[in-house]
Structure formats: C-alpha cells, structure tokens
Amino acid sequence: MICYRGGARKRGRTPRYELAQGIVGAARVKKKQREELIQKRAEELARSGQHEDWTSIEITLRHEGLREARQLLDSSFYRHELNEVSDSARQQHKKFG
C-alpha cells in the first residue's frame, strides 16, 4: 500500500515511497558494482605474484579504500582460490623472474 503524504499524487509530484524505492535500487546497483570491483581487484592482486595469501590481498584492498573486502572474502572457497592463484603466480615469477 502506498501512502501519499501531502497530496503528492494530486499535485503531480512523485510519492515519497516511489522516490525511496529508486534510491534503494540505485544503492543496490552501486553495491553490486563495488563487489564486482573488489573481486576483480582481488584476482588482479593474486595474479601479480606479490602476495603470499588472501590475507595480504585483503589488507591491500582495505588500504585502497575497499572496506567491504573483509566481508566479500569471507568464503573459504574464495580464499582457497585466491591462495592457489597467488601461489601459482609467485612460482611463475620465480621461474621466469
């Protein structure tokens, strides 16, 4: 049920409920884009060969201003994947470095 305060619909203005829905929708998109950015950056850092494991990647992300990194990397599967990519990249750098 939409509550129209102050006769918003009568005066041709958008009801507050609809405005709030638009703001929440935009925040969700922004959050999703930020999560994708964090995942992409974490994978880039892992492939760089400069990190021992997921913890140093998380610290780097947080220093870059991506505070949500802690929550996004809170998956043992994802952490394991980052560790494997980091190990592989470090071995490649040692081999060809």
Inside any domain, residue 54: yes
Inside any domain, residue 65: yes
Q: How many domains does the chain have?
A: 1
Inside any domain, residue 7: no
Query: How much is the pTM?
Result: 0.69
Inside any domain, residue 59: yes
From residue 47, how far is each of 17, 25, 44, 57, 70 by CA, in Å? 45, 33, 5, 11, 19
What tens digit of pLDDT does each residue of 11-59 get?
555 455 444 445 455 566 688 899 999 999 999 999 999 999 999 999 9
Inside any domain, residue 6: no
